[in-house]
Amino acid sequence: MSVNADITTCQIGGNPESRGWAQEIAPDTGVVQVASYASVNDVGRAINPTIVIGQLDGGAVQGLGQALCEQMVYERESGQLQTGTLMDYALPRVDLIQRFNTQLDQSTPCLTNPLGVKGVGELGTIGATPAVVNAVVDALQRAGAGARADQLQMPLTSERVWSALHGRTA
């Protein structure tokens, strides 16, 4: 059995961006599996659409990592960093997301440069983190987690999600 979450659109800042996630939460483990990610991005003129899509998808994975796994951990008494290497610091992996559907909106070119291009390096990261967190919180709310879901803090590790779902403290 899985708890399904869908979030259809999210207006981000001044950009007409839409973000959508479909994900599943395994109730017995709290593991969040992002089944698909869809976005429409105002990119101005895309000179090389393949590179632009790659930047957007890579940024989305970075936002997913921030939401689900990345965390700096310090030893309580000494303040010693415990996650100082890539052996200890959780990074997003390719198996965290199954499918991208990235669309480019080129209908509004930038007017401040002759090429009409817009910066896209950060577009993917900006909307991804709140979209996935909101989808998890929504799924937990629908599963009866109530206030525990609203108090959940990033990263939404499997332990934290499981604890919120089952009424325990992580």
Tell me: the pLDDT tens digits for 112-131?
999 999 999 888 888 889 98
Tell me: the pLDDT tens digits for 10-19?
222 233 445 5
Contact 58, 124 (CB under 8 A): yes
pLDDT at 92 over 80: yes
Residue 60 dihedral angles phi and psi, to the nearest 5°: -65, -40
Name residue 136's amino acid.
V
Query: Among the listed ranges 23-32, 61-70, 77-86, which one has the minimum average pLDDT value?
Result: 23-32
pTM value is 0.80
Laid out side by side, the sheet with 32-42 consists of 3-7, 18-25, 32-42, 100-105
The domain 3-159 is placed in CATH, from the list 3.30.70.20, 3.30.365.10, 3.40.50.10330, 3.40.50.300, at 3.30.365.10
The catalytic residues are: 122
Q: What is the residue extent of each domain of the chain?
A: 3-159
Contact 82, 74 (CB under 8 A): yes
pLDDT tier at 4 (50, 70, 90 boundaries)?
very low
pLDDT at 63 over 70: yes
